[in-house]
Amino acid sequence: MWRNKRFAVLWPFLGAALAVSAACAETPNSCVDCHSALDPPYKVTQDQFAQDIHAQKGLTCASCHGGDPTKDDQDAMSKKAGFRGHIDHKDVPALCGKCHSDAAYMRQFNPSLRTDQFSQYLTSVHGKLLAKGDTKVAVCTDCHGVHDLRPASDTRSKVHPLNVAQTCSRCHADAAYMKGYSIPTDQFAGYSASVHHEALAVRGDLSAPTCTTCHGNHGAAPPGVGTVQNVCATCHVFQAQLFASSPHKAAFEAASLPGCVTCHSNHRIAHPSDAMLGTGTQSVCTNCHTSGDAGYDAADKFHAQLAQLDTAVKTSDELLGRAESDGMEVSQPRLEQDQARDSLTKARVTIHSFNVARVDQDIQAGLKIAGKTHQEGEAALRERDYRRKGLAWSVVAIVLVLIGLRLYIRQIESGGKI
């Protein structure tokens, strides 16, 4: 077929196709050519590397490993070509830092990227231990990946906010790996059960904290006992301010208690409940306070106040619910109930002042609204009763007519006699 004169016209096209494909072919990369065929841990495929942010910005294997990708075989990996081979664990941060700490260099790629990661890392627990010779600690590649490294904003990145906790837990939740270090390994389990994890993973609220939010990412270190509340205060401003003005601040500092964590825990932060107050079995107050001291009485009062407002709100809700199921339209009081619930939320925040009078202000405001909605609910029920009475009267009128008709029919059909 190919010798046929008629198909000779195809030759130029074939030639052109070959030339074009040759021109489009990637610059020779002998590293990937060989390494894509090897077994792990030496295996790096083109597909994999194409996902890497460094590759996308124009860097190659040689940028970190040295060597000459245009040569074949051993020439590519010769010392003359500057080949460094496998980068030792302990040398990774310095290698990454060579570029990433160079502001002038990084400006070419992304001017807004920070360039202090390496210096931060040196202040972190990981960095400090690495400097002392511990190679079990995390280095850049352990968290960010390597060869298919994605930016943190990419949801597939190991350091995307949704994935951070999982990444940290690879070491920190491994009891066997963490043997020898004096820290617990239940943080991930606790965090996974926390309200912050629920906000992040279930509700998708990317502003919710993960490990790095409180511990830092490159400069990762647990916040000190005295500074924990500063961390929580970044978001929970009101509670922190109230706490700072409360008698607990000085007392906790004196007892070296870790601020917010004392009552709320650090990783397994559950949704707080009113049962945490008062003197019941789930109360955190009774951990320190005993019957007879002022704090014990205050705890009791706080619980009673919140319970009072909670009950008032629930009673109004139930009343409005009944009115609604009886057909009354109560959207206005329902909206006001939202405000009553806001007061309850506010009171639960004001608790952190541990000042009964202060909390009482919010409680009273809430009770006022709940009282109003309760009245509106009762008015709705009264309106319902009025309608039913109206109905009863009209039914009486209708029955009268029915009786009258019956009698009238009988009258005219029996010739005047009934």
Partner 1 sequence: MLTRIRNWLDERFGLAELTAPLREKTVPIHSRSYWYFLGGITLFLFGIQVCTGILLLLYYRASASEAFESVQYIMTRVQFGWLVRSIHSWAANLMIFTAIAHMFSVLFLKAYRKPRELTWVSGMILLFLAMGFGFSGYLLPWNTLAFFATKVGTEIAGQVPFVGHQMMVFLRGGEEVTGATLTRFFGFHVAVLPGITTLLILLHVALIQRFGMSVPPDVEAKWKADPAQAREMHFFPNFLLRELMAWYIALGVLGALAALKPWDLGTKADPFAPAPAGIRPEWYFMFMFQTLKLIPAKIWFVDGELVGILVFGLAGLIWLLLPFFERERNGRSSRWILGLGVFALAYMASMTVYGYVAK
Partner 2 sequence: MANEPISEVQSGRRRVVELFLGGGLLASFLSFVYPVIRYLVPPPVADLGGDEVVAAKVGELKANGSKIFRFGSRPGLLLLNAAGDYIALSATCTHLSCTVQYRADLHQVWCACHNGLYDLNGRNIAGPPPRPLEAFQVHIRGDEIVVSRKRGA
Using CB under 8 A, which of 17, 131, 250, 405 touches partner 2? 405
| DSSP track, 289-335 | --TTSHHHHHHHHHHHHHHHHHHHHHHHHHHHHHHHHTT---HHHHH
Q: Considering the complex, state which of residue 183 and residue 391 has its C-beta at the smaller distance from partner 1.
A: 391
407 binds partner 1 (CB under 8 A): no
Q: With contacts defined by CB under 8 A, how many residues of the chain interact with partner 1?
A: 20
* Min CB(404)–partner 1 separation in Å: 10
- Give which of partner 2, partner 1, none residue 388 binds (C-beta under 5 to 8 Å, depending on kind): partner 1
- Give which of partner 1, partner 2, none residue 413 binds (C-beta under 5 to 8 Å, depending on kind): partner 1
Interface region with partner 1, contact rule CB under 8 A, candidates 12-20, 56-64, 148-156, 405-413: 405-413
**What whole-number distance in Å separates Cα of residue 368 and Cα of residue 416?**
69
**What whole-number distance in Å separates Cα of residue 227 and Cα of residue 222?**
10
* Min CB(85)–partner 2 separation in Å: 46
Using CB under 8 A, which of 349, 356, 379, 381 touches partner 2? 349
Q: Considering the complex, state which of residue 126 and residue 348 has its C-beta at the smaller distance from partner 2.
A: 348
| H or E element, residue 251 | helix 247-254
Q: Considering the complex, state which of residue 170 and residue 341 has its C-beta at the smaller distance from partner 2.
A: 341
Using CB under 8 A, which of 18, 38, 251, 335 touches partner 2? 335
**What whole-number distance in Å separates Cα of residue 84 and Cα of residue 73?**
15
Helix (H, G, I), strand (E, B) or coil at 284: coil
The pair of structure tokens assigned to 366 is 């809430």
Using CB under 8 A, which of 88, 205, 253, 318 touches partner 2? 205
**What whole-number distance in Å separates Cα of residue 204 and Cα of residue 155?**
12
Amino acid at 324: E
Amino acid at 110: N
Sign of the torsion formed by the C-alpha atoms of 51, 53, 56 and 62 = negative
* Min CB(415)–partner 1 separation in Å: 13
Using CB under 8 A, which of 249, 268, 346, 372 touches partner 2? 346
- Give which of partner 1, partner 2, none residue 112 binds (C-beta under 5 to 8 Å, depending on kind): none
Letters for 131-170 (x = contact with partner 2 by CB under 8 A, - = none) are ----------------------------------------
Torsion of CA 321, 325, 330, 333, to 10 degrees: -10
332 binds partner 2 (CB under 8 A): yes
Residues 330-389 binding partner 1 (CB under 8 A) are 331, 387-388
Residues 317-336 binding partner 1 (CB under 8 A) are 326-327, 329, 331
392 binds partner 2 (CB under 8 A): no
CA distances from 370 to 119, 346, 356, 366, 377 (A): 56, 15, 20, 6, 10
Rounded to 5 degrees, what are φ and ψ at 55? -60, -40
- Give which of partner 2, partner 1, none residue 327 binds (C-beta under 5 to 8 Å, depending on kind): partner 1
| H or E element, residue 368 | helix 356-413
386 binds partner 2 (CB under 8 A): no
The pair of structure tokens assigned to 220 is 């990762």
Pick from 86, 146, 143, 97: nearest CA to 122: 97
Buried b (16+ CB within 10 A) or exposed e, 388-416: eeeeeeeeeeeeeeeeeeeeeeeeeeeee
Angle at 55 between CA 53 and CA 56, to 5 degrees: 60
Sequence length of the chain is: 418
401 binds partner 1 (CB under 8 A): yes
* Min CB(358)–partner 2 separation in Å: 15
Q: Considering the complex, state which of residue 21 and residue 414 has its C-beta at the smaller distance from partner 2.
A: 414
116 binds partner 1 (CB under 8 A): no
Residues within the interface to partner 1 (CB under 8 A): 326-327, 329, 331, 387-388, 390-391, 394-395, 398-399, 401-402, 405-406, 408-409, 412-413
Residues within the interface to partner 2 (CB under 8 A): 205-208, 234-238, 331-332, 334-335, 338-339, 342, 345-346, 349, 390, 393-394, 396-405, 407-408, 411-412, 415-418
